[in-house]
Amino acid sequence: MSSTQVLLARNEQFIKSFDQAKLPVIPKLRAVILACVDARVDPSHIFGLELGDSVVIRNNGGRVTPSSLDEIIALAMLVAMMDGDSPGPFNLVLVQHTKCGAERFADPHLQSMLRERAGVDVSATAIHDHHEALREDVNRLRDDPRVPSFITVSALLYDIDSGGIEEVVAPVAVEHLRLSR
Ligand SMILES: [Zn+2]
């Protein structure tokens, strides 16, 4: 059985009890989670998300990269337009995890091999130290003038072995980060 067949069979089970057609497009938690693609750290599972709770963006490492910045900025602008005169919060939650494949991208030999053979630059994704990388990502948001000041950002580290979460950066408004620079 192919992966697609497995997924289609599971969807057949899903639709049997489906009653969520009326969900609002703005997520209930008003959250955007940026997490790693690793199958072991699916935010729906580790945070017990229900359908419609949160937007989830996933990339290698769960890093703030040029492409994820574009996604976040576009979403923030879209939500602000939808909110209109009564703006609500926009909570961006960065999630990295221990034993992440992006730690391998920190190897300069692998970086140059990927650049030469595949034309891929993983330097913005590489993780040497998770605490450092999470703070660096918060700073990438602070330093990009396109990122709206009303966004609140926090940074979490998920432990693959225990299933637990460490709050590395507590929720803070981008505006506050810029004022206290
Ligand atoms: Zn990972």
Angle, alpha carbons 62-76-59 (nearest 5°): 15
From ligand 1's centre to the CA of 21, what distance in Å? 32
The rounded distance, in Å, linking the Cα atoms of 8 and 156 is: 33
**Is 90 exceeded by the pLDDT of residue 14?**
yes
Q: Where are the domains of the chain?
A: 24-179
The whole model's pTM is what? Answer: 0.95
From ligand 1's centre to the CA of 158, what distance in Å? 10
For 24-179, CATH gives 3.40.1050.10
From ligand 1's centre to the CA of 97, what distance in Å? 6
Helical ranges in the chain per DSSP H: 3-16, 43-46, 66-83, 108-118, 130-143, 174-179
Residues 6+ apart with CB under 8 A from 39: none
At 43-72, the pLDDT tens digits run: 999 999 999 999 999 999 999 999 999 999
Share in percent of the chain as helix, strand, coil (round to 5):
45, 20, 35
Q: pLDDT value at position 46?
A: 97
In degrees and rounded to multiples of 5, residue 135 shows phi and psi of -70, -35
Q: Rounded mean pLDDT of 94-111? A: 96
From ligand 1's centre to the CA of 100, what distance in Å? 4
**Is 90 exceeded by the pLDDT of residue 87?**
no
**Is 90 exceeded by the pLDDT of residue 1?**
no
Q: pLDDT value at position 154?
A: 98
